Amino acid sequence: MPEGILAQFAAALAAGAIRVIDLSQPLDGTTPIIQLPPEFGTTWPFQLQEISRYDSRGPAWYWNNFACGEHTGTHFDAPIHWVTGKDYRANATDTIPAEKFLAPACVIDASREAAADPDFLLTRQHVEAWERAHGRIDRGAWVLMRTDWSKRGDPSAFLNAREDGAHVPGPHPDLLRFLVQERDIVGWGSEAVGTDAGQAFRFDPPFPCHSTMHGNNRFGLASLANLDQLPPKGAVLITPPLKIVNGSGSPCRVLALVAA
């Protein structure tokens, strides 16, 4: 380990040689949340309730209560979120080792394909083409699928729900097995409301990103933004969820460090 490596890092930050890019969506009552069929339980939308604002309830201070589901807005999925990951040790938001919350990112640009087809699925062949251009996906990296879906400002266009379910791009089941078994990634990140494609309830296995990632003790990031500002390779992500005891996930201020 080079001596003073953290001093060099701090100096690079101070000099603007490292940029910090916010990959998070704002949280308010309009933040889109996943819609499930009525037979299933539902998640709360984000809610803010003012406690005081420099008034009789608190003359010098402003603060709020908030409520939301764990999987609201830009958020982290822990392995315990899925039945396939329920038996791992240290599989919840409070027990995952903290060093797992810092990892490099590989960004696959599928924005053109997603614009042409909202049900576009990223395949192993796409990723192998990306590797020919940018090098092998790093062990322990996040793989982030850029779709520009976060630029859909209208929540109904973002969720893109129809009578036959949501139409949102995501990963192909074979790709997920490849990324875990042959590339040993730390997790999968998406710009959509969840990590799986909108039609993934029809796939084999259903919801393959959740099933495969969490079934191998890997993580997910959903509702990411600003992936168009990241290089294909070289960014480092900071992704700590709230330390909810036995939490299945948490809203997350996801940050990326990028060489300027």
Query: In the bound complex, what is the minimum distance in angstroms from residue 5's beta carbon to Mn ion?
Result: 34
Q: Could you count the other beta carbons within 10 Å of the beta carbon of residue 157? A: 12
**Under rule CB under 5 A, residue 214 binds Mn ion:** no
Residues in binding contact with Mn ion, number by CB under 5 A = 2
Candidates 25, 68, 77, 109; binder of Mn ion (CB under 5 A) is: 77
Among candidate residues 71, 75, 81, 126, the one labeled active-site is 81
End-to-end CA distance of the chain: 23
Distance (Å, whole) CA 88 – CA 92: 9
Residue with tokens 């100096």: 11
Q: How far is the CB of 60 from Mn ion (least distance, A)?
A: 38
Q: Which of residues 56-75 bind Mn ion (CB under 5 A)?
A: 71
Active site residue 71: no
Q: Please state the separation of Cα 168 from the chain's center in Å.
A: 15
146 is a site residue for Mn ion (CB under 5 A):
no
Pairing of strands 170-171, 121-122: parallel
Residues 6+ away with beta carbon under 8 Å from 66: 46, 47, 48, 49
Give 71 or 146: the residue with its C-beta nearer to Mn ion: 71
Q: Which is nearer to Mn ion, 160 or 223 (CB)?
A: 223
Compare residues 77 and 191 and give the one whose CB is closer to Mn ion: 77
Q: List interacting residues with Mn ion (CB under 5 A).
A: 71, 77
The catalytic site residues sit at 81
